[in-house]
Structures are given as C-alpha cells and as structure tokens.
Structure 1
Amino acid sequence: MCRRAFSGGVCNRGTAGFAYVGGACVVNKRLQKVNSVAIVEDTGGFSGIIVAAHEVGHLLGAVHDGSPPPSYLGGPGARRCRWEDGYIMSDLRHTEKGFRWSSCSVEQFHHFLNGDTATCLYNLPHEDESLPRVLPGKLLSLDAQCKKDRGTSACFKDDRVCAQLFCFDSSSGYCVSYRPAAEGSDCGNGKICSNGRCVFDNGNSISDFDISRRRCAAVASEGRGGRTWPRATPGEGFKHPRPHPIPKMARGQPTSRGTSGFTHLEGPLHV
C-alpha cells in the first residue's frame, strides 16, 4: 500500500495502513481534500483490526511512541514512551501491551479532543444502528485465520496464540507470526483470547463499554513483529526452543522479510 504520488509508482507491500495525524475533523472544501479518513488493509482473517486502531489513533492526534509532536498540531507528543514497549502506537506486538494505548497516546488524545480541531466528534450520530456483537475469533478458527493470512494452518493452539498467532510458512518451512489471534479465538482448556490474554470464556459477545469509567479501551490488534521460529510441522509447534534472530523493523517500513508497518501522513491541517 502506498501513495503513488510520493512513491514513484512503486507500492510497498509492507505498509498496512495510512492516516493523517490529527485529521479526524479536517475537510478542505477549496482543495477538495478530506483528511478525516484512514486506509487499512485486511486479508480477511481479521488481521487489520489493530491496524485500524493504530490509524484511528493517528486521526485522533497520536504519533508513534517515541516520536515528537507534529509542528502543526503541538501537544505533548510521545518522546517519553519507548517504541520498543510495544503499545498500539508502536509496531512491535509480542505481549498484551499491544492491545493497550501507552500513557503518551492517552495524553495526546486528551490534547486533541480538548482542542478546536476536534469539535466535529461531538456531533451525535444520525442513526443508532445495531451492530453484531460476536467476537471475531468465534467466526474463524485459528487454522482458518492462518489460511486467510498465509494459506496454511496454525502451528500451535494454546495460550501463546493470544500474543502471537504463528502460522506455518510452506515456502520456508518456518512458523511465522505477524499478529495475535483474533479476539475470542480458542486458546485451549475452554478459554479464549481477550486483550492478549487467555481467559475463561464468559460468553461470545462484545461487552458494552461504560463511558462513565472514562477509560481508553484497547482494540483487538494485529502484531507486526515478523518474528520467525525454527522449523515446525503445522499444528505440532516447534522442534527447537531457540528462536532465530528477529529482524529489526524501521518505523513504518518493512523488514527484509516483508513484514507490514504503519504509516502516518503529516501535513498542515486545513480547517
């Protein structure tokens, strides 16, 4: 995915989403330009859920963890939160932190939502449309999720999948993970994945969010670490406990293995 005007016509398959930082309410009628959108890629296995959360974070004024604020937006930025900690506004997701916002992201949301550029978000929706409440992991098995992503099956089906779902890569013979299993996926012993953890199943619906708690809720996510593990037979786990080295990932850029990253588009806001 790319913007052809800035890529020389060559699109990089490693980018999974685009969004304008702080663009949630920005529409420039004179230039016929709308910044209040994000573009997200999903292969059909719910792999785009965390990408969507990440890009919405950009629209609401959050930059990548470890980055300064945009000059046109101001605010606290995220310098004091480490990229390597792996929260939603990072690109490294190997623990349950990947399902939560960092404290820097929350501060930036407060700054943006209390500013003049966020007034459109206070509008009440015209329709109160009912949405399905079934968790996505109830709709696709672990094998089905891997088949959507890589055309193969899941390497193992225990509590590890909640942080990272490893799928067998037939071309290399390795188990490869780019994301956690979808929320609600079976993680063994009558438990399901919820916010990166394997917990007992108390029903298959999405709970209502009580806004009176004034918390920022994390959204089910997709890991993009590109970790590879030793050769394994699909469904049997690993033959060796020691993983291969993890390739480094530049922010918003693919690694040598072609893992996906996130990109935010910066530019002056037009209100």
Structure 2
Amino acid sequence: MASAFEPSLSASLSRQPPMSATAPSMADTLPDINFGFDELRERMAKFTAKFDAFIETGRKRVLAERNQFRMSVAELAEDQRMRRKDMEIVALKTANHQQTVAKEAQEAREMQQAIAALDAQRDAHAARRDALKAQIADAQRDIDARAAAQRAHAAYLETQARFNVPELDFWISNLCLKIEGAGQTDRLKFVYSHIDEKDWEREAWFELCTSSRDYDVRHCRPKLEREKVERVLERVNESRELAVLLRGMRELFVEAIKA
C-alpha cells in the first residue's frame, strides 16, 4: 500500500516549485505512512481463521450438545416410559398381593371357623363319650346284676332239678314233650307232638325265658293269644311249678289247632 501512495506523492511534489538542494524536502518532514498493512492483513486473516475455527468449533459443540440433549431427552423419555411400566407392574403386583392377602385372610377366617366347629364337635363327642361311658357303666352294673340273678336262678333250678327229674320225665313221656336249647343260655324250647288228631307228627313249641325270677314265654308256634298265655304264666309264677306251665301250654296248642 505504501507503493500505491508513492506516485501521487511524487506527482504532488513535482508540481511544487523547486527547492534548493540544501533545503530539506517536505517528504522528509512527513511522517512515515507505512502502517504495517501487510502485518495487519495477516493478523486479520489469522483472526478470521481463528474466528471461523471458533465459530465452527462452537457450531460443532452446539450441534453435539443438541444431539446430546436430544439423546438425553430420548433417554429420559425411555426412562420415564420404563418407570411408568415399572409402576404399572408394581401396581399390578400390589393388587395381586392385596388379593392374596385378602384370600389368605378369608382362608384364615374359614380355618378358624373350621377349628371352632371341630372344637365344638370334639367337645360334643367328649360329652357323648362321657355319657356313653356312664351308660356303659350302668349297663355293666345291670348286666352284672342280671348275671348274678341268672346264676342264682340257675343254681336254684339246678337244686330243684334234682327233685323234679322224675316228675319231669313223667311229663315228658305223658305230654309227648321234648326239651331243646333255644340258642341262648337263658332260654329253653319245649316241643310238643301228638297234638293234632289228623297229623300226629305235627309239632308245636314255645320258648321259655328264665333270665328273671318270673317265667316268660317269648315265642311260640302256632301263634297263641297273648292274654291266654299271660293267664297261664300268672298261675305258673304264683305256684312256681313247671308242670302247670307244661299242661297249660299244651292245652292252649290243642285248642288253637282245633280252632
């Protein structure tokens, strides 16, 4: 740029009147016009390059930060979605847990009710067991008493049998009678024959119960009227003679067959 100004300066100087060689020239008195434009241009170029580099760096940084921000926003959105999903899962698990707790509480109540019912049933069974034990004890005492009475009565019958054997043989032969067991220790079966004129082989029988002091007729064939049997039993129990029973029952059988 200094060279650009030099021709103009020369022209201006040439148009001035000549001066003496010894006198200083005006050009010498002027300040140096070389301001360092080249250096300034170079510095401006460097500044421009640095500024462009700064701008490019800033643009890249802004772009990177924007991309990073977008990625962060996307990650936050994904994290929020995952958290929302986790919350839904937790809510579902909470609901299932509450249902399970309610179900277990219901089952616990039902088990407590069942336990209470079983306790009541156990107490009822215990009370019934105690009552049955008492009944069994009473029945055992009654059985023992009956057994003692039977033994006493059997002893009495055995004592009387020694005296009644000849008489019993007489009635067996004369009444066409035979004595059999009735399948129980306290019963005797008396079987009659020759009671039907049309069929001498026809039989009639009755079972005599000796479990108590008074005689009792439980079963008979053919069937007899209970009132007539009771009248015969009254005479027998009053007299305590077996012959009265044997004669009376044969008469009832003969009467029933003729009827």
The structure in which a higher percent of residues are strand is 1
TM-score normalised by L of structure 2: 0.19
The structure, 1 or 2, with the larger RCO (C-alpha pairs under 8 Å, 6+ apart) is 1
The structure in which a higher percent of residues are helix is 2
Larger Rg: 2
TM-score normalised by L of structure 1: 0.18
